[in-house]
Chain A
């Protein structure tokens, strides 16, 4: 059955959004889907965003159908606004930030480890923990059900679906996202799209054909997406092809865990100090309430033309609202300086973010960024991806709620401009709804695929390598030296496959073969078949290993089979690696092993 709609799903770290567009129209008309969700027990409301949180209630809270949804009775968990509110009140029962766990290779992401309580070995048995993959699946199930309820004649599994992932998601994280999506009921043929590209598409759909007048060949566009908890950077170049301007994604940055929430917390800490100076000690409940008050205050204080002082109040608990309120005035300039200089400090192009000093034991939590100076991260990214022939950053596209504040946008433009003599880059205006741009862009991308609108050429954002042990003299106690064989070059186009030229690799039939797997965003010139004998630790990042087991077909014990690798990037944005026998036509697919390394 031909799809009637294209649906763009922004599965965000803090909020998820669904946008859709009818495929038949001449012009793309993108709308947002209102998502019914629990906003309090027993209360269902429609909101344009679904907060990516999950609340796991105790069994006594479930009485009376308190967590019922229009499409589901007897639900034993809640996804959405209710869960987001409970993250502050009951953090041990709330799952948040599941998406950032999907690309964290140090844990087994299919094990029920969330809600993450550091140091606790899942003692509280009445909390039904979930895995990051299952949490993502639950969010998607909710979105699918919301769509099916709104459009019962055109269920989601029959439509064209585009799901966005951060550009920094490597192949293993994409695989897990796909797994969660298929389990949630998305169609087999759904497409993965990188979020910064979706932001550019949203800008394109808003600007229309005028974009060709706003950009010139050789322009470099930096997409800077700072959301609630994460920062993602992407560089897009403007090139020319057969007389037409085209956009090409040049490079992506790492998945940085710093965002608007850090700013709220910084402000809350400062205000708590001011309260303490006045002799007011805040208890735990008041601290949480202060955090929420600071989130609101941040928006007011960073907006243009605000008053010189602002009152921050922590309302009294219980029904004595006025009697229990404590409040103080903060000076607007001090707050602006704290947030702007703390998170967007002036820096030079060669400044690097401070690295976390790793001590003896490793804590297996999320790798929050040690340095919250976002401009320093941008500097490192721009420096790593600037080459002689390429112009410095000429335009910046902002995305994410943090950039609603004009002064932060201006500061970032100013800092980038100070790195090159060419003046501040221009801001690409037009993304009116910074919260919804990614979903809208995803829907437009699907429409453009059908109708032939402008597409951003991308290919893979990283090069991928397989670890090959070398044969040679074995030394007791020392592992065999490892070489990295490039199997996917940087920028390999979607829908292409490549036979990796190399000496045959020996696999033992009947045993599991495991290969260490690396990716690099920095090495952009390696070709498939290049064997690296040594590399910089910063260049290659190890991710989940790949494994396969060749079924033992003959009676020979220890039968040895020479294979070569064949890599493939599907149209859907997924990466596949196959072992192809050199003697006959047999081939086996390598699967990602997402369990943590045994001997980390």
Chain B
């Protein structure tokens, strides 16, 4: 008798539409029933919904934003580099540009240090003689001047090169609409 009542309830629930209909359909097709999302505990502000960080549960897919845009946004937020670069330099004296650029450049350096730990490839001072072995990687060394033969070459360092120590950018967790935003609009409410 219990099954009859369940069947009647299911019949009327599906007819009425709504949440139950999808689930019953899923069950009839043999898929596991998807439970409704638990209600948001919005009454107590700030109570965390702790998500157990087990490796089996994948973190929900986030709308992607290119790391390049994240880097631009970081440089703008911490150093205001985009504001400086986008402003036309016409009409300003060197002193004015310099006064503004100093802080921006210093903060850019901080961002780059934090995110990339940029360091020179060669530690000798520029101008010291150096040997470049045969079979060098042209991506690491660029030879100019009187270059002949296959090597090894002897010359002097003109630019010590730059390389990164690590590559660590902030993770972005915003919405799809904000994926193209480098700096948000600032509106002052009076």
Chain A residues close to B by CB (< 8 Å): 36, 39-46, 56, 63-66, 68, 70-77, 128, 130, 138, 141, 145, 148-149, 152, 293, 296, 311, 313, 315-316, 318-323, 325, 327
Chain A residues lying within 8 Å of B168, measured Cβ to Cβ, are 46
> Which chain A residue has the least Cβ–Cβ distance from B53?
A149
Chain A residues with CB below 8 A from B50, complex form: 71-72, 145
Chain A residues within 8 Å of B104, by CB: 315, 321
Q: Is A313 within 8 A of B174, CB to CB? A: no
In the assembly, what is the distance between CA of A311 and CA of B103, in Å?
10
Nearest opposing residue in chain B for A324, CB measure: B100
A70 cross-chain contacts in B, Cβ below 8 A: 53, 59, 171
Please, could you name 9 A-B residue pairs with CB atoms under 8 Å apart, sorted by A?
Answer: A42-B175, A75-B46, A76-B45, A313-B100, A318-B186, A319-B83, A321-B80, A321-B83, A323-B92
Closest to B48 in A: A72
In contact, B84 and A44 (Cβ under 8 angstroms): no
CB distance from B127 to the nearest CB of A (A): 25
- Kindly list chain B residues whose C-beta atoms are within 8 Å of the C-beta of A42: 172-175, 178
Given known contacts A70-B59, A148-B53, A322-B87, is B99 in contact with A327 (CB within 8 Å)?
yes
Q: Chain B residues with Cβ under 8 A from A313's Cβ?
A: 99-100, 102-103
Which residues in B have their C-beta under 8 angstroms from that of A138?
46
Which B residues are closer than 8 A to A by beta carbons? Answer: 40, 45-46, 48-51, 53-55, 59-60, 70, 73-74, 77, 80, 83-84, 86-87, 89, 92, 96-97, 99-104, 106, 168-175, 177-178, 184, 186
Closest to B49 in A: A74
A73 to B169, CA, bound (A): 21
- Further pairs besides A65-B174, A77-B45, A315-B104: 18, Cβ < 8 Å: A40-B170, A41-B184, A42-B175, A43-B70, A43-B171, A43-B173, A56-B46, A66-B173, A66-B175, A77-B46, A145-B53, A311-B102, A313-B99, A313-B102, A319-B87, A321-B83, A321-B84, A327-B100
Closest residue on chain A to residue B107 by CB atoms: A296
Q: Which residue of B lies closest to A138 (CB)?
A: B46
B170 and A39 contact, CB distance less than 8 A: yes
Contacts of B100 in A (CB 8 A): 313, 315-316, 321-322, 325, 327
Determine which of A41, A130, A141, A323 lies in contact with B87 in the assembled complex, contact meaning CB atoms within 8 Å: A323
Find chain A residues with CB under 8 A from B54 CB: 152
Instruction: Please judge, given known A-B contacts A42-B178, A44-B173, whether A74 and B40 are in contact too, CB under 8 Å.
Output: yes
A43 touches B73 (CB 8 A): yes
Known: A128-B45, A325-B96. A296 touches B103 (CB 8 A): yes
A322 partner residues in chain B, CB cutoff 8 A = 84, 87, 89, 92, 96-97, 100-101
When C-beta atoms are compared, the residue in chain A nearest to B59 turns out to be A70
Chain B residues in 8 Å Cβ range of A128: 45-46
**B172 close to A43 (CB less than 8 A):** yes
- Give Cα A152–Cα B53 distance, bound, in whole angstroms: 7
Which 5 A-B pairs rank lowest in CB-CB distance, beginning with the nearest? A42-B174, A64-B175, A45-B170, A128-B45, A327-B99
Please give, as numbers and ranges, the residues of chain A lying within 8 Å of B87 by CB-CB distance: 319-323
Q: Pick the most buried of A36, A152, A313: most chain B CB atoms within 10 A of its CB.
A: A313
Q: CB-nearest residue of chain A relative to B95?
A: A327
- Asked if A130 meets B48 with Cβ closer than 8 Å, knowing A74-B40, A321-B84, A321-B100, the reply is no
A74 CA to B41 CA, complexed, in Å: 10
A20 to chain B, nearest CB (A): 17
Least CB distance from B60 to A in Å reads 7
A72 touches B171 (CB 8 A): no
Measured between beta carbons, the chain A residues less than 8 angstroms from B60 are 73
Q: Does the CB pair A71–B173 fall under 8 Å?
A: no
In the complex, what's the smallest C-beta–C-beta distance from A372 to chain B, in angstroms? 27
Q: Which residues of B have CB within 8 Å of A315?
A: 80, 100, 103-104
CA gap between A360 and B66 in the complex, in Å: 61
Partner of B49, one of A73, A318, A320, A325: A73
**Known A77-B46, A322-B100; contact A66-B53, beta-carbon cutoff 8 A:** no
Least CB distance, A185 to chain B, in whole angstroms: 9
A319 vs B87: C-alpha distance when bound (angstroms)? 7
| A contact residues around B48 at 8 Å (CB) | 72, 75, 141
Q: Which of A64, A128, A319, A321 has the most CB of B within 10 A?
A: A321
Least distance between A66 CB and chain B CB atoms (Å): 7
Complex CA distance for A36 and B175, rounded to whole angstroms: 19
A43 to B78 CA separation, bound complex (whole angstroms)? 13
User: Smallest distance from the beta carbon of A368 to chain B beta carbons, Å?
Assistant: 28
Q: Name the distance in Å between A469's Cβ and chain B's nearest Cβ.
A: 42
When chains A and B are docked, how far (Å) is the Cα of A572 from the Cα of B190?
52
Interface centre among A41, A43, A130 (most CB of B within 10 A): A43
Q: Report the nearest B residue to A150, measured CB to CB.
A: B53
Closest B residue to A72 by beta carbon equals: B48
Query: Which residue among B106, B174, B184 has the maximum number of chain A CB atoms within 10 Å of its CB?
Result: B174
Of the listed residues B87, B101, B173, the one surrounded by the most CB atoms of chain A closer than 10 A to its CB is B173
